[in-house]
Every structure is written in structure tokens, then in C-alpha cells.
């Protein structure tokens, strides 16, 4: 009696996948589920801090804010009022390589939400709104200064990915934001928000033909443009860096190591490996660091980006234990590389991941993210069941094969520590 088997047999029931490409280049995809109680949708724009020129640092995230400030026919108040009238659960986020605008409503309000989100994709970028929102962005940058864990993450990425766009800060800096002009933002928008660089994804209860007809109509004025992303060569250099920080009383350790890209089928095995190393509650790092009382939490994961991937591990510790924690992390990684993973660990990790897929699939909103983010980088639709079966099929040998290149030994250990810390 294995949960994975039960799940895969059940999870694709009643779902139907649809896709279309409009003449302007926009891709529209949908996972239609007539039994759902809501419909979720989102524009997945294939752009983020990795696509910014140095003098534009932070523009992707700032632009995300500006899309809520107005279009040629709506001001900020009208946009917010419409979301509220629809009773929408909506939000947006920007990462190193994605900018996503999403919402969920009752099925009756799907067409109105679609119209609103689509209108927002062509913002007015009014100078006055730009100037006011710049202050909000500067506030946001300032508030992260009080979150050492976040700063450690940002700075560790910058050092690990040195010279590669994946190391670019999403927020940008006070200097880059202060210097940014409305014209630079408009230029970035014109370059990156081409329909050919966007995917509109929908999940839940919806009428596919009517949706497609509506999208065609309301994006008629959208012009395609050639869009490129730079894939700078990236070769991780093993090393470490230790940085004192006035706002920290604790020590923050991030370990980064080369992983597998979103286009690489080995990313499934990488997910299992990261789970064995550092899943919450039951993993090598949990038993070595948390159960032993050294730290309150420790974790590891795998991130598959466009053309590159990353194993990460994190621990936060009393400065007095910093050296001990760093040594345990290294020891557990070396042991993995030397001895490989155990069969029962792999089964457990597969089981946890597969169950996570089922729970993620319970609501259209959660389903939307799987659907949109994976399609953007693979151009393929994978049902929940297909995804779960890929994990199910993995063997100990598949996972151990990833360890042959000794990825963790080629990793980078970053520590953010209190000033005057005695961790050494």
C-alpha cells in the first residue's frame, strides 16, 4: 500500500489540457477542470533580474509594482476596486527569471479578471506614479536590511553566480533605483513584455473556446518583438566567504552547489537528492543539526532555472556554533558523495514529493504555478500524474549518478555573521 500508486491513478481524472498560440505570438494554455469551484489565471512573463542591464538593476520588480498603478484607461484605484469587486485573490511576484501576475475568482468572474490582468500588461507608466512608487521600492530595499537571512541569500547568490545573471539582485540597489528613469523602464517593458515572451495560463473551471476568443480580441493591439535571453557561460568555483553584518546577532550559512536546469530530466533525481539531504523533519541535515540540538532549523533544496540549476542548503545558528555547523554541513555532503544515498531514504523522499504534488493540485491557484512555470521553460505540459510517475520511476542508481560529479565539493559556502563575532 504505497500512497504514490494511489495518487497517480487518481490525480489526472477530469482534467483536460489545451494550448494555442495567437498570431501576435502569445501562448495560451489551460488545464480545464469542470469540477473545480474556482478559476485561477496568470500572465507568466519570461523576464527577471537576470535579463537586466547593470544600469537597470531592479527594473523588473519595480515594473511589476507599476503594472498595478494604471493603464491608459484605468488608474490605480480603479484597478484595485475591480479586483475587489470580483472578490479576487490576486498577487504578483518577480524572481531572477520570471515575473508573474495571477489571480483566482469564482468561475462566473473569470472573463472580467482576464480582461483586467490583460489590460494591466500594457501599463501607462505615468511619470507621477513612477516617482511615487520609486519611494515604495526604496522603502522595500531598506526593510530587507533588517532581515539578515534575506541579505545573506542575496549576497551569497551574487558571489556564487559571479558574472552570471542568476546572481543579479531582484530588488536592485538604492543607487540603481534612484538613478532609474521612466524612459528606461518603458524601454525595458517594450523589450521584455512582447507577447512572444509571455504565457497566459489558466487552471480550473473555464470555457476554453470562449476564453481563447476573448484573449484574441483584447490582445489584438499587442505587437510582437524579438526577445532574447543571454545564457552566459557559468562555471562554479568552489570556495567560501564570510561577511560580518551589523544587523546580525546570529550566523547565517548558505551553501550553493551546481544543480540541473529546468530543461534537464535529471532535475527530478536532483529533487530527491536534495530532499534526502535537507527536507524538513526527516533528512541527513535534520538528524545531524536539528535533532542534535545544534540549530533550530536546517534545510536543503534544488532549484531548476533556465539553463542552470542549484543545490542550496541553509542553516542559522548561534555564532558560538558557527564553525561546528559549517563542519557538519560539509561532513554530511562529503558522506553523501562518498557513500551515496540509501534505498529507504529514496523511497521516503519520492513518497513525500509525490504526496506534495497531490496536495498542490487540490486548488486551481496552486495548480496554476506548476502549470505556468514548468511550461514557460520546457514548452511542455505535464499532468500531475505524469510528474508523480517520473518520481516514482527513479532508482537509487539514478540519484547516485548525480553524485559522481561531486557537486557539493564544487560548492560555495557563504556565511553572514555578527560583527565582532567569535565563530572562528
Which one of 95-103, 215-223, 356-364, 402-410 is the stretch in contact with a second copy (CB under 8 A)?
Answer: 356-364
CA distance 75 to 411: 48
* Closer of 144 and 234 to a second copy (Cβ): 144
- Record the cell numbers describing residue 56, joined without a space: 537597470
- CB 364, CB 18: distance < 8 Å: no
Side by side, the strands of the sheet bearing 308-317 are 239-245, 412-418, 251-258, 308-317, 298-305
3-state percent helix, strand, coil for the chain, nearest multiple of 5: 50, 20, 30
125 forms part of the interface with a second copy (CB under 8 A)? no
CA distance 403 to 131: 50
359 forms part of the interface with a second copy (CB under 8 A)? yes
142 forms part of the interface with a second copy (CB under 8 A)? yes
**Burial letters for 358-375: b for 16+ Cβ neighbours within 10 Å, e otherwise?**
beebebbbebbbbbbbbb
343 forms part of the interface with a second copy (CB under 8 A)? no
Q: How far is the CB of 371 from a second copy (least distance, A)?
A: 17
173 forms part of the interface with a second copy (CB under 8 A)? no
Which one of 94-102, 116-124, 219-227, 278-286 is the stretch in contact with a second copy (CB under 8 A)?
Answer: 278-286
**CA 82 to mean position of chain CA atoms:** 27
**Burial letters for 236-248: b for 16+ Cβ neighbours within 10 Å, e otherwise?**
beeeeebeebeeb
Residue from 248, 341, 387, 402 in contact with a second copy (CB under 8 A): 248
Q: Binding residues for a second copy, how many (CB under 8 A)? A: 68
Name the nearest CA neighbour of 299 among 321, 322, 325: 325
292 forms part of the interface with a second copy (CB under 8 A)? yes
Beta strand 27-32 with 198-204 is parallel
Residue 406: how many CA atoms within 13 Å on its side-chain side? 7
149 forms part of the interface with a second copy (CB under 8 A)? yes
139 forms part of the interface with a second copy (CB under 8 A)? yes
* Closer of 151 and 257 to a second copy (Cβ): 151
Over the window 72 to 101, marking each residue x when it contacts a second copy by CB under 8 A and - when it does not, the resulting string is ----xx--xx-xxxxxxx------------
Over the window 174 to 213, marking each residue x when it contacts a second copy by CB under 8 A and - when it does not, the resulting string is ----------------------------------------
Positions that interact with a second copy (CB under 8 A): 1, 3-4, 6-7, 10, 37-38, 76-77, 80-81, 83-89, 104-106, 108-109, 132-137, 139-140, 142-143, 145-149, 247-250, 281-282, 286-287, 290-296, 316-318, 348, 351-352, 354-356, 358-359, 362-363, 365
Amino acid at each position: 500500500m504505497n500512497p504514490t500508486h494511489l495518487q497517480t491513478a487518481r490525480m489526472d481524472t477530469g482534467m483536460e489540457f489545451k494550448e494555442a498560440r495567437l498570431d501576435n505570438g502569445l501562448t495560451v494554455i489551460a488545464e480545464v477542470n469542470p469540477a473545480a469551484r474556482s478559476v485561477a489565471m496568470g500572465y507568466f512573463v519570461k523576464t527577471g533580474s537576470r535579463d537586466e542591464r547593470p544600469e537597470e538593476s531592479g527594473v523588473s520588480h519595480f515594473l511589476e509594482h507599476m503594472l498595478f498603478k494604471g493603464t491608459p484607461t484605468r488608474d490605480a484605484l480603479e484597478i484595485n476596486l475591480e479586483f475587489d469587486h470580483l472578490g479576487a485573490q490576486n498577487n504578483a511576484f518577480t524572481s531572477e527569471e520570471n515575473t508573474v501576475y495571477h489571480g483566482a475568482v469564482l468561475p462566473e468572474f473569470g472573463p472580467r479578471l482576464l480582461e483586467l490582468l490583460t489590460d494591466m500588461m500594457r501599463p501607462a507608466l505615468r511619470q507621477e506614479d513612477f516617482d511615487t512608487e520609486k519611494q515604495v521600492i526604496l522603502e522595500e530595499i531598506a526593510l530587507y536590511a533588517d532581515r539578515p537571512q534575506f541579505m545573506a541569500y542575496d549576497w551569497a547568490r551574487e558571489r556564487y553566480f559571479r558574472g552570471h545573471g542568476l546572481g543579479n539582485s531582484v530588488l536592485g540597489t538604492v543607487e540603481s533605483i534612484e538613478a532609474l528613469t521612466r524612459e528606461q523602464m518603458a524601454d525595458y517593458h517594450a523589450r521584455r513584455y512582447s507577447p512572444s515572451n509571455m504565457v497566459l495560463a489558466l487552471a480550473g473551471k473555464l470555457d476554453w473556446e470562449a476564453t481563447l476568443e476573448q484573449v484574441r480580441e483584447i490582445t489584438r493591439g499587442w505587437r510582437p518583438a524579438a526577445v532574447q535571453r543571454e545564457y552566459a557561460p557559468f562555471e562554479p568555483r568552489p570556495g567560501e566567504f564570510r561577511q560580518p553584518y551589523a544587523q546580525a546577532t546570529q550566523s547565517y550559512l548558505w551553501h550553493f552547489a551546481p544543480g540541473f536546469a529546468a530543461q534537464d530530466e535529471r532535475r527530478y533525481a536532483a529533487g530527491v537528492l536534495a530532499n534526502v539531504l535537507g527536507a524538513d523533519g526527516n533528512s541527513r541535515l535534520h538528524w545531524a543539526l536539528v535533532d542534535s540540538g545544534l540549530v533550530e532549523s536546517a534545510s536543503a533544496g534544488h532549484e531548476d532555472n533556465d539553463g542552470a540549476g542549484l543545490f542550496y542548503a541553509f542553516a542559522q545558528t548561534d555564532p558560538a556554533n558557527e564553525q561546528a555547523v559549517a563542519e557538519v554541513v560539509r561532513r554530511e555532503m562529503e558522506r553523501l558523495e562518498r557513500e551515496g544515498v540509501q534505498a529507504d531514504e529514496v523511497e521516503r523522499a519520492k513518497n513525500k514529493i509525490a504526496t506534495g504534488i497531490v496536495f498542490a493540485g487540490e486548488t486551481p491557484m496552486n495548480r496554476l504555478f506548476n502549470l505556468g512555470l514548468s511550461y514557460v521553460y520546457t514548452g511542455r505540459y505535464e499532468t500531475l500524474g505524469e510528474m508523480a510517475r517520473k518520481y516514482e520511476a527513479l532508482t537509487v542508481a539514478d540519484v547516485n549518478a548525480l553524485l559522481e560529479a561531486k557537486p557539493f565539493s564544487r560548492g560555495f559556502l557563504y556565511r553572514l555573521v555578527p560583527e565582532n563575532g567569535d565563530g572562528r
